Amino acid sequence: MNLQKNIAVGIIPVTQISFLPAKEWKLNSNTRQLQIIQKTLSRNKRIFLEYNEFRKKIFSELTPKDSEIILYVIPWLFSINEPVCPGYLQDLNQPFRVYNIEYNKEIRNREESFKKMFGVTKRGTLLIQTQKPYVIQGVYTIGSVGTVNQNSLSDCDIWVCFDKKEFDKTAWNQLNRKVNIIKGWLDNNIKLPVYFFISDVKSVKEGNFGSVDAESSGSTQQLVLKEEFYRTFILICGKIPIWWLLYDKSFKIKYNDALSAINSDTFWEYDLIDFGNIEKIRKSEYFGASLWQFHKFLTSPLKSIIKMVLLKMLLEAPQERLLCHQLREEVCS
């Protein structure tokens, strides 16, 4: 149809035609993009949760007893304070609670057996607290557990993530004490060695992983460690890292656009956490991570050799494409 001609001859009255101002058209375009991103995030969240359950299943098949305690008992112990249970603090000012644990069906269904295990006689759930708790944002494994690389010599590294802005010094000290008491109980009751790393969300986002010691890589691995986390973690309980949901085969979602979509009043998902984006890793950091493996070789020679081979491949790769990106693409496609 020739619009100008039809207007001229009076087929379409001029009063019936409206043109959106440029500013309003841009707002409508931004709204549509926001809605697309929000729907993509929700779709990928469902996919991620299915993938996470698959990883838990592998972990459970490899170490049935230990995985049950790590995946379900540990977050429950973090979220209660009973005298007969590991992690009890007599002088606890405010309780701790892993985010959303009271709605975790797997843990709620097992709670009666947990109470029986430790001799708790109270009736009903212990996860409903009358006092406002300090919230642990998420509990995650990182490393070989739940992967083909898990074997009888594997250990289990667990990140306990909190928001430093919401914790005072007393709460921080009490969380450390609680974690250490629980670790002592784990050392005496399961075969799989467990190491806890209490991490501030902002520090994880900035790639600040503390000082160098027997288990921590400190500043020698920043994005390398974050890439490993995104590639290997299992969500035990708590919030889902936003990064894992940012994939669509039709268009690229920018990290900042995703943050805008999540912070919008119209977004309906509330259990996501910002650990920061990762796009590229400098070759120099791969080299630093390789040097770190010489230190780790003293205690875990086979694992260090495997990681050294991987780092060598990444150093020599002509075009970098992070493994965590490849995994996310395969899972979310």
Q: Where are the domains of the chain?
A: 25-120+130-279
Confidence at residue 133, expressed as pLDDT on a 0 to 100 scale? 95
Q: Which position has the higher pLDDT, 270 or 236? A: 236
Q: Which residues contact 28 (CB under 8 A, 6 or more apart)?
A: 20
Confidence at residue 191, expressed as pLDDT on a 0 to 100 scale? 93
The pLDDT tens digits for 186-217 are: 999 999 999 999 999 999 999 887 543 444 44
Q: Is residue 266 scored above 50 in pLDDT?
A: yes
Confidence at residue 15, expressed as pLDDT on a 0 to 100 scale? 46
Confidence at residue 170, expressed as pLDDT on a 0 to 100 scale? 96
Can you tell me the distance from the alpha carbon of 92 to that of 314, in angstroms, rounded to the nearest whole number?
47
Confidence at residue 17, expressed as pLDDT on a 0 to 100 scale? 44
Confidence at residue 30, expressed as pLDDT on a 0 to 100 scale? 76
Give whole-number Cα distances, 143 to 48, 151, 256, 263, in Å.
Answer: 18, 12, 28, 31
Helix (H) or strand (E) holding 235: strand 234-238
DSSP for 262-306, written as a single string:
HHSTT-----EE---------HHHHHHHHHHHHHHTTT-HHHHHH
The single residue listed with the structure tokens 């406002």 is 132
Give the residue-averaged pLDDT of 283-288.
66
Q: Which residues contact 109 (CB under 8 A, 6 or more apart)?
A: none
Q: Which amino acid is at 282?
A: R
129 contacts 95 by C-beta, under 8 angstroms:
yes
Give whole-number Cα distances, 318 to 45, 135, 174, 313, in Å.
Answer: 32, 44, 48, 10
The pLDDT tens digits for 113-145 are: 999 999 999 999 999 888 899 999 999 999 888
Strand partners, 79: none
Can you tell me the distance from the alpha carbon of 37 to that of 33, in angstroms, rounded to the nearest whole number?
6
194 contacts 183 by C-beta, under 8 angstroms:
yes
Q: Which position has the higher pLDDT, 9 or 283? A: 283
Give the residue-averaged pLDDT of 105-110.
96
Can you tell me the distance from the alpha carbon of 258 to that of 274, in angstroms, rounded to the nearest whole number?
10
The single residue listed with the structure tokens 């926001």 is 34
Can you tell me the distance from the alpha carbon of 251 to that of 174, in angstroms, rounded to the nearest whole number?
46
Most distant CA pair in the chain: distance in Å?
91
- The conformational region for residue 124 under phi > 0 = left, psi -120 to 50 = alpha, else beta, is left
Confidence at residue 121, expressed as pLDDT on a 0 to 100 scale? 94
